[in-house]
Structure 1
Amino acid sequence: MRKSPWVLMVFILVGGLLGGILGEVLRVMAPHGTIQNIFSTALTPGINPPVTVDLVLVKITMGFTIRMNLLTFLGIFLGIYLYKQI
């Protein structure tokens, strides 16, 4: 059976989203201390502040930020693992 790269992208996206949501829930619910520090530490690559192009007629603002914590990475790796198992 031939595997599609689009299916891999879906697995990675869903794994990352579920991991990110679980990480944010655990960050809020965990008691203060080491556990909360682990889940509150996040990598946030992106364009900050957003880039604005003013063409007089149209003003375009472009930017993005990705917030990734430990469980986001684990979710991505789990998605890749599950994709390979199918």
Structure 2
Amino acid sequence: MLKKSGSYLLLFIFIGGLLGSILGEILQVVAPQGTVQNIFVQALNLGLDPPVTVNLVLIKFTLGFLLKMNLLTVLGMFLGAYVYKHV
């Protein structure tokens, strides 16, 4: 039995979201074009695109991130939380 902690919950949610995203990418390739594919595969991109570059003469760094979520990602996150609760 797992000790129920916040870090394990985040891990289960992350893994569920990752599996949902992978399933969404596979579905995008194998499913025929149509409404069902658009509902499950259409992604929402959140983040910095293009990345922000800061030049401080001595050092130059780039900061950027992009979170790509679709419906299957969200369903996978909820499934991860459900599995965490019942394990």
TM bucket by the smaller chain? over 0.9
Describe the superposition over 1:7-53 as per-residue Cα deviations: whole angstroms up to 9, x where unpaired: 01110110000000001101111011112211331111101121111
For these two proteins, the number of residue pairs brought into alignment is 86
- Note the aligned Cα RMSD (angstroms): 1.3
The aligned counterpart of 1:77 is 78
Greater strand percent: which structure? 2
The aligned counterpart of 2:8 is 7
Q: What runs of 5+ residues in structure 1 fail to find an aligned partner?
A: none
Q: TM-score, normalised by structure 1?
A: 0.92
Report the 3-state secondary structure (helix = DSSP H, G, I; strand = E; otherwise coil) of the residue aligned with 2:61. strand
The aligned counterpart of 1:56 is 57
- CA distance in 1 between partners of 2:40 and 2:28 (Å): 5
Q: What runs of 5+ residues in structure 2 fail to find an aligned partner?
A: none
The aligned counterpart of 2:25 is 24
Q: TM-score, normalised by structure 2?
A: 0.91
Report the 3-state secondary structure (helix = DSSP H, G, I; strand = E; otherwise coil) of the residue aligned with 2:62. strand
The answer (yes or no) to whether the contact 2:18–2:73 under 8 Å persists in 1 is yes
Query: What's the CA shift for 1:2?
Result: 4.8
- CA distance in 2 between partners of 1:4 and 1:40 (Å): 32
The answer (yes or no) to whether the contact 1:24–1:39 under 8 Å persists in 2 is no
